[in-house]
Structure 1
């Protein structure tokens, strides 16, 4: 199997995480929209790899490209997406109230476990901008009473807290 085929096959293993990220990024806008974003992002990255427009060195780089494609598509599509229904859990409503940029920064770092540099690459912003967005998102959720339990108290990490978002 060629390296390119291995990377394309490996992207299939990224689908569950991409779906989780897309659903949280869409914050209640609908499962159909998030699934459509995942499919479009994977098709886009796969086509770019096959056309040799994108030459990822390894699966991690291809994964970053898939998240970047999904985030870019979401930015275009979510402008017209409906708001969350009142019956959504408080965390979903809290995420929906964040700007898309702040929400993406928070989800990439806290939910998906990307480092600051990779998350900055995904959103197409300098690291400092990503850190500012992350700080704003955390502060907004904390102001809404959605602060994850503190690690100091022996509670779960923030990422574990946010992983319950579907």
Structure 2
């Protein structure tokens, strides 16, 4: 197998994490919408790699490009999407109340475990802007009582509402 085919096959293994991110990014808009976005992003990246428009150095680079494509597609598709239904848990409503940019950065860092530089690159912003969006998102969730990690008495921390699941 060639290098391009190895990277494309590796992206197939990253599909569960990409699906998790897409569904969280859609914040109640529906699993079908999230799955369509994921499929479009994977097809786009695969086509760009095959056509040699995109020459990632390794799987990590291809993964970042795939998340960036997913974010760009989601931003366009979710512009007029309805919010979550009343049956969704409070965290989904909290995520839906955030602006798209804040939600994207928060989920990249908190859910997917990307560093600040990689998250900034994925959303197409500088590191400082991405950090500002992350701080606003955390503050907004904290104001709604959905802070990812809230301190308790005695220095202990409460269980996180947003956890990294691998």
Q: Given the two structures, how large is their TM-score scaled by the length of structure 2?
A: 0.93
Structure 1 alignment gaps of length 5 or more: none
1:1-166 aligned within 5 A: 1-150=1-150, 153=156, 155-156=158-159, 158=160, 161-163=161-163
Give the number of the structure with larger relative contact order, counting CA–CA contacts within 8 Å between residues 6 or more apart: 1
The CA distance in 2 between the partners of 1:96 and 1:164, in whole Å, is 19
Which runs of 5 or more residues in structure 2 are unaligned?
none
Task: Rate the CA distance shift 1:135–1:80 in 2: closer, same or farther, 3 A.
Answer: same
**Quick one: distance in 2 between partners of 1:50 and 1:126?**
29
Instruction: List structure 1 segments (4+ residues) > 2 angstroms apart after TM superposition.
Output: 148-152
Contact 2:113–2:164 at 8 Å: present in 1 too?
no
Rate the CA distance shift 1:77–1:118 in 2: closer, same or farther, 3 A: same
Q: How many aligned positions are there?
A: 162
Equivalents in 2 of 1:83, 1:9: separation in Å? 34
Q: Would the alpha carbon gap of residues 62 and 164 (structure 1) be closer, same or farther in structure 2, given more than 3 Å must change?
A: closer
2:64/2:122 contact within 8 Å kept: yes
